Amino acid sequence: MDSLLSWLQLFDASFRLATPLLFAALAGLLSERSGIIDIGLEGKMLFSAFAGAAMATISGSPWQGLMVAVLAGMLFSLLHAFVCITHKGDQVVSGIAINMLALALSSILAQRLFSLGGMTPILSSEQRLPSLNLPSLIDKDDSWISLLYWKLLSGHNILVYVGFALVIALWLFFKFSPLGKRLYAAGQDPLALARAGVSVAATRYMALIAGGAICGLSGAYLSIGHGAGFFENMTVGKGFIALAALIFGKWHPIRVFGACLLFGFLEALTIRLQGLAIFGIDSLVPIQLIEILPYVLTLLVLAGFVGHSIAPKALGKS
């Protein structure tokens, strides 16, 4: 019983930790499927986290915060699109510039607005996005189904469910929607798309801006959903892990979802391991060593277990 509960808690934590990765990876999926490399996920995530927290602090409403976070994500994506599509600039360089810009701009603006050393004030629970309790379809008792439902599925932040829905929506989008087919074509064979009489540039702009909005959700989740406020460099490489999940998931929404859950699970595991004695040596293992585990595992997964990952054919070619 106890072990079941602790496993449930572990999975529960994986869901919470996988969500920001999931949003960022899906944002990356949209732009990379359209043929534009998106290294700037980290920066967009960070800046929208700041924008969301700042707005939530000032207005007191998490929903306004969410909106501003999404807008911020779109704005940064627009910048990336302007550089890469309109001016055919280098996509990797533009992405790196966005990461640097976001890191510096978010902490400078935070300091200027709130004078807390690059942080926003801690948000109260009314200023954060609410959690959602699922309808009482199943009675609360000790059966494992009930535990699964109430401990694992119910009670997450509202954005966690949005994330799940988005996975399915994107899968359907690419499978059935004519727009999805065009987006896919833009990343696979832009010439074929142009000959069909569709503007490749417009398709890519659309994909990037939609991706920016989704990336904004990921930032909002960090600062006003899961967390309670913004602090300097709070994303700590999550954007890059999301990029790894995107490659691991072979640019396919459902597989990317699986990859994000795996990375979320690894992160949950490291948090859990910090309190435990490992092989009987509990104080000797430095916390830092455990904290690097997800990053090391990311490397291992990408090096060994991906197999043959086929990128969109025209990715990175203007």
Partner 1 sequence: MLAAALQLKDIFKHYQQVEALGGACLTVAAGSIHGIIGENGAGKSTLMQVAYGVTQPDSGEIVVDGAVIKISSAQVAIKHGIGMLHQRVSWLDEMSVLENIVLGDEIKSYVYQDLTKARQELEQLRREFGFSFSLDVAMTQLNYSERQLVDILRSLYRGVRILILDEPMALLSPDQADYLTKLLVMLKLQGISVIIVSHKLASLHQLCDVISVLSNGKVVHDVRPSSLSLGQLSKLMVGREIVLPHASSRNKQALTHAPLLNVSNLTVYAQKRGRRVRSDPLLEQCNLSLFGGEIVAIAGLPNAGQELLLDVIAGLHHFNRGSIELFGKEYRAKNHYCIAKARKLGVAYAPNPTLEIGLIGQLSMIESSFLGYQSKGLRQFSLFNPSIKKQHCINLMKQWRIRPLLAHMLSGNFSGGNQQKMVLARELSRQPKLLLLNQPTQGVDAGAVEYVYQQLFALRDNGGCILFCSSDLDEMISLSDRIVIIEQGKVVTQVLTADIDKAQLGLLLVKEVLQQQPRQETSTQGNKS
Of the candidate spans 188-196, 264-272, 280-288, 292-300, the one that interacts with partner 1 by CB under 8 A turns out to be: 188-196
Tracing tokens 């459902």 back to the chain, one arrives at 254
Q: Interface with partner 1 by CB under 8 A: which range of 67-75, 173-181, 206-214, 239-247?
A: 173-181
Asked whether position 152 contacts partner 1 by CB under 8 A, the answer is no
Q: Which stretch binds partner 1 (CB under 8 A): 95-103, 182-190, 230-238, 267-275?
A: 182-190
Rg (CA), the chain: 20
DSSP annotation string for 119-174: -PPPPPGGGSPPEEPPP--S--SSSHHHHIIIIIISSEEHHHHHHHHHHHHHHHHH
Nearest distance from C-beta of residue 191 to partner 1, angstroms: 4
Q: Which of 189, 227, 291, 306 binds partner 1 (CB under 8 A)?
A: 189
Determine the Cα–Cα distance for residues 222 and 231; give it in Å rounded to an integer. 10
Using the rule CB under 8 A, is 122 a contact of partner 1? no
User: Is 252 among the residues that bind partner 1 (CB under 8 A)?
Assistant: no
User: For the chain, what's the residue count?
Assistant: 318
Choose, by CB under 8 A, the member of 108, 192, 277, 278 that binds partner 1.
Answer: 192
Strands 156-157 and 131-132: antiparallel
Q: Residue 25: which of 10, 12, 35, 38 has the closest Cα?
A: 38
Residues 291-310 that bind partner 1 (CB under 8 A): none
- Distances in Å between the alpha carbon of 263 and those of 104, 155, 168, 249, 299? 27, 21, 19, 11, 11
- Footprint (CB under 8 A) of partner 1, residues 194-233: 194-199
Work out whether 188 is an interface residue with partner 1 (CB under 8 A).
yes
Residues forming contacts to partner 1 in the complex (CB under 8 A) are: 176-179, 181-182, 184-185, 188-189, 191-199
